[in-house]
Chains A and B, each alone.
Chain A
Amino acid sequence: MTVLNFTLNEEGIAVLHDALTCMFKFSDELCLEAKGDKLVLTTLNISKSAYVCFTFAANRFFSRYNFEGNAQYRDRFYCQLYIRSLLSVFRARQGIDPGGHRETTIERCDVAIDDGPGIRSRLIARIVGRNGITATHSLAFEPKAPTHAKFDMDEATNHWALSSSTLRQLMDYFGPGIELLDINTDYDRKVVNFTCFTEKVQKKGANSNEAVLKKPLHTNIAVEMEEFDKVEVQDKLHIIISVKDFRAILQHAQVVSGELTTSYSNPGRPMKLTYSSEGLLCEFILMTVGEKDAMGQKHKNPRANSAAPKGFARPELDAGSRRGSSVGNENRTQPGAPGASARSAARQKSPVRSRQPGFEIRPQPMAPPPRPLPPPSASEASDSLFVAQDEDQKWEPLNPDEEEEENGADRLEWNSNNEPNPSTMRISSYVNHPTPVETEPEVDESLASGLEPTQRLSEVRQFGLFSN
């Protein structure tokens, strides 16, 4: 049966294609999540240092949108798809009209997602052309719950907003060979500095060495605060992100809209970038490099991201055996907790070495304080999507020894240096709303996309994952 169907007009296809192009710069796969009022596409890069979330409003973005739901997917439907195949389906098709003008030949695109017992799980896209040609694409998908990176707006007290077109042009000043972007404020000079640099060829005592001449340009751009639409940033705060990610975001932001807004707290904590246009909300959460790490990692590859090969096929998705109707999963799973047992099982089976994952992964059962459960092992932090990715380490900004000694029990956190009680920090809502035990985690209202946790604690408790 059809779980979801929607129709895109020509413009909608172009916007979707732009979004997919942007996502493809981060990952090979995306998660589609459909609800009654919105369609959400998310992806997390392989090193879990960058998370992308595009929210399409059902009533404004689509010419028609209908989420049916079924027994299995009552409130929402989700699946995982290859971005590459979506890109080829939703590409612009240009033809030449009799007058010799190029114009797109698409009239509209109908998308339907079929799933259910005894039905082949497929995403079917029918591209209806003006020339009378209708192309039908059928894509297989994997029933897999999306992974949402968490971001605490209350913690992120630093904000700035600037025209994406201006930002994009600033990036043109940055030369090749640079990896990191340091954004810092200087209230004395009333400017925000964008500094690009690399740690790559830095060698100590390279002074007398020819290598010093091989260093790339070190570029700094000072932009007057007056030019920003908003600047509320702690003075002299340096926040460092990947140039590659930032470039990818700006390329898309420039196409979409006028203003890009950022929110962040401290080095080593995530940064959120958002921009929006009619019916489309674009959110990115990037891991920032901790300040001390920038110093300590001169001889390491600081960017797992840049090292992550494009088109790297992850073994999980390759599994054709796992494809097929999500009903298969459903049969093994308790109703109402779709996919949970499969994922939990994967967690238990595959103890990933305890590297800090880039993000706190939301759809996982978490125990609220004040009776802290044994902190989940790092393997639990890994969604099965990300099992055994050694690349994770490359992003690793912290000195591992130091980190593990200090916060060994709290590996889910990126950096809990400033937190009084790390074990209470896994659900940010608890920090601000200390709630009694056994209540379900509240929906984090600060998340603009408003995605609820995937599972309820009461639902997963029965699986015996928790001792109490």
Chain B
Amino acid sequence: MRFKTDLRNIRTFSKLVAALNSLEKIAWVRLDDDTVRFTVIPDTGSQVWASLSVDLIFDNYHLQSAEPNNTINLELPLGPLQRALRSAAGSNHASLRLTKRDGVPMLSMTIHAMTKDPGGANAATAAAAAAAARAGYPPDADDDLFPQESLELSMRREREKIITQDIPVRVLHPDTVETIMQPKVREPDVHIQLPPLLQLKAISDRFTKLALTTTTGSAARPNAPGPRLELSANMHGSLRLRLVAESLDIESVWDGLDNPELDPSQLAVPLEEHPSTAFRAAGPERWATVRVDGKDWSRVLSVGRLEGRVIACFADDHALILYVYVPHHDDAAAEDVVTYYVSSYSA
């Protein structure tokens, strides 16, 4: 079993891990030749299936296992991974490999980084010089042959450091993950592009706080279920967020949002028979509604940090799914999807 890769788009990777980490501390990672999939399934709350193409976050990807498609299943703590990724931000080069230390499997991240020169001015130059030196010569090459010339005293020996971050992992047997299935949900009644998540989150959080202050007592328990928010959308570009509590009834409505066209080739049923067609025909007063837990919803919305477009699919009084499209920085056409199955409640 082998897994070794260079890291790319560390910022995006780090943000994804941060978003997942807000829902659950431990993730199931499934690696195969084509995709990297992160799955978090909390005991209560929303679950996430993030299926990424390998080249979104990895480069020089080497994978080898006895399973079909070289599949490797890992369980890893997201906190340490996030911490390691954060320390890799701004590095010259970072790589990841599956290894063992003292017989315990580890995901070992190797980071080549510079520290900032106290003088500051020439740190970038020094970094570039070091990077060039690394590209030109193997790291173990005798540097004495090609001494780096100092431009000034303060950068005389500013060298690249090699940082190794070992993240504890468990290698999962295929049998143990066989039974974990991605949820199946019926065709949605309404699909709509959400407004900027920062805005939606700010208002949702405000509603949740309001509800917590009006219903005294439940706020004291940290793990108590949060207040229920009512989330509705129609096929005419509107999204409504509503809170009904003992003494108040408030709502926010967004208009002019996009209900994207469906691609008929991707549908199981002809477009005319798709539930959304009926909802569109029923006019703007036909809302598909779900109820979400305010605290859980806030954690879900932290995915906004990925800065991707988010499509919400409502199955009226049944389910809410968010598709978060993660753009590739170097390839505008390519997109990866992170799927949130938001836990919802019936009225």
Per the 8 Å Cβ criterion, residues 362-405 of A in contact with B are none
Closest Cβ neighbor of B164 among chain A residues: A220
Per the 8 Å Cβ criterion, residues 191-230 of A in contact with B are 191, 207, 210, 212-224, 226-229
Per the 8 Å Cβ criterion, residues 219-244 of A in contact with B are 219-224, 226-229
B187 beta carbon closer than 8 Å to chain A: no
**Would you call A217 and B159 a contact (CB within 8 A)?**
no
A451 beta carbon closer than 8 Å to chain B: no
Report the Cα distance A463→B12, complex, angstroms. 73
**Within 8 Å CB of B26, what residues of A?**
210, 213
**Would you call B118 and A219 a contact (CB within 8 A)?**
no
Chain A interface extent, by class: 20 to 34
Which stretch of A32-40, A114-122, A162-170, A304-312 is in the interface?
A162-170
**Would you call A165 and B163 a contact (CB within 8 A)?**
no
User: Would you give the shortest CB distance from A149 to chain B, in whole angstroms?
Assistant: 30
Report the Cα distance A300→B84, complex, angstroms. 28
Closest Cβ neighbor of A164 among chain B residues: B118
**Within 8 Å CB of A217, what residues of B?**
80, 83-84, 165-167
Which stretch of B54-62, B63-71, B98-106 is in the interface?
B98-106
**Would you call B161 and A223 a contact (CB within 8 A)?**
yes
Closest Cβ neighbor of A172 among chain B residues: B87
Per the 8 Å Cβ criterion, residues 88-117 of A in contact with B are none
Report the Cα distance A216→B115, complex, angstroms. 23
User: Would you give the shortest CB distance from A257 to chain B, in whole angstroms?
Assistant: 10
Per the 8 Å Cβ criterion, residues 162-198 of A in contact with B are 163, 165-166, 169-170, 172-173, 175-176, 189, 191
**Would you call B101 and A170 a contact (CB within 8 A)?**
no
B237 beta carbon closer than 8 Å to chain A: no
**Would you call A165 and B166 a contact (CB within 8 A)?**
no
**Would you call A215 and B168 a contact (CB within 8 A)?**
yes
A351 beta carbon closer than 8 Å to chain B: no
User: Would you give the shortest CB distance from A57 to chain B, in whole angstroms?
Assistant: 24
**Within 8 Å CB of B116, what residues of A?**
165, 169
Per the 8 Å Cβ criterion, residues 237-258 of A in contact with B are 258
B76 beta carbon closer than 8 Å to chain A: yes
**Would you call B169 and A170 a contact (CB within 8 A)?**
no
**Within 8 Å CB of A172, what residues of B?**
87
Report the Cα distance A218→B111, complex, angstroms. 13
**Would you call A222 and B161 a contact (CB within 8 A)?**
yes
Partner of B75, one of A170, A213, A222: A213
**Would you call B115 and A219 a contact (CB within 8 A)?**
no
Report the Cα distance A15→B230, complex, angstroms. 58
B158 beta carbon closer than 8 Å to chain A: yes
CB within 8 Å for A221 and B161 given contacts A169-B115, A214-B77, A258-B118: yes
Q: B154-188, CB under 8 A of A: which get 1 and which 0?
A: 00011111111111111000000000000000000
**Within 8 Å CB of A223, what residues of B?**
159, 161
**Would you call A224 and B159 a contact (CB within 8 A)?**
yes
Closest Cβ neighbor of A209 among chain B residues: B170
**Would you call B143 and A226 a contact (CB within 8 A)?**
yes
**Would you call B163 and A221 a contact (CB within 8 A)?**
yes
User: Would you give the shortest CB distance from B107 to chain A, in whole angstroms?
Assistant: 10
**Within 8 Å CB of B159, what residues of A?**
223-224, 226-227
Q: B273-310, CB under 8 A of A: which get 1 and which 0?
A: 00000000000000000000000000000000000000
User: Would you give the shortest CB distance from A306 to chain B, in whole angstroms?
Assistant: 20
Partner of A218, one of B87, B106, B118: B106
Report the Cα distance A82→B15, complex, angstroms. 45
Partner of B101, one of A189, A218, A226: A218
**Would you call B143 and A218 a contact (CB within 8 A)?**
no
Closest Cβ neighbor of B168 among chain A residues: A215
Partner of B164, one of A169, A207, A219, A258: A219
**Within 8 Å CB of A213, what residues of B?**
26, 75-77, 168-170
User: Would you give the shortest CB distance from A222 to chain B, in whole angstroms?
Assistant: 4
Closest Cβ neighbor of B140 among chain A residues: A189
Report the Cα distance A55→B162, complex, angstroms. 36
Closest Cβ neighbor of B78 among chain A residues: A213
Report the Cα distance A382→B13, complex, angstroms. 54
Per the 8 Å Cβ criterion, residues 102-157 of B in contact with A are 103-104, 106, 111, 115-116, 118, 140, 143, 157
User: Would you give the shortest CB distance from B173 to chain A, in whole angstroms?
Assistant: 11
**Within 8 Å CB of A189, what residues of B?**
140
User: Would you give the shortest CB distance from B69 to chain A, in whole angstroms?
Assistant: 25
Closest Cβ neighbor of B75 among chain A residues: A213
**Would you call A165 and B168 a contact (CB within 8 A)?**
no
User: Would you give the shortest CB distance from B251 to chain A, in whole angstroms?
Assistant: 41
**Would you call B170 and A173 a contact (CB within 8 A)?**
no
Report the Cα distance A453→B104, complex, angstroms. 51
CB within 8 Å for A191 and B162 given contacts A169-B116, A213-B76: yes
**Would you call A165 and B118 a contact (CB within 8 A)?**
yes
**Would you call A207 and B103 a contact (CB within 8 A)?**
yes
**Would you call A163 and B118 a contact (CB within 8 A)?**
yes
**Within 8 Å CB of A212, what residues of B?**
104, 168, 170
Closest Cβ neighbor of A229 among chain B residues: B157
Closest Cβ neighbor of A213 among chain B residues: B77
**Within 8 Å CB of A221, what residues of B?**
161-164
**Within 8 Å CB of A163, what residues of B?**
118
- 3 closest Cβ pairs, A-B complex: A218-B166, A169-B115, A165-B118
Show 29 residue pairs from A and B whose CB-CB distance is below 8 angstroms, ordered by the A residue. Answer: A163-B118, A165-B116, A165-B118, A166-B158, A170-B115, A170-B161, A173-B111, A176-B83, A189-B140, A191-B162, A207-B104, A212-B104, A212-B168, A213-B75, A213-B77, A215-B168, A217-B83, A217-B167, A218-B165, A219-B165, A220-B163, A220-B166, A221-B162, A221-B163, A222-B164, A224-B161, A226-B159, A227-B159, A258-B118
Supplied contacts A173-B87, A217-B167, A227-B157, 17 more A-B pairs, CB within 8 Å: A165-B115, A169-B115, A173-B165, A175-B83, A175-B84, A210-B26, A210-B170, A212-B170, A213-B26, A217-B165, A218-B165, A220-B163, A221-B161, A221-B164, A222-B163, A222-B164, A229-B157
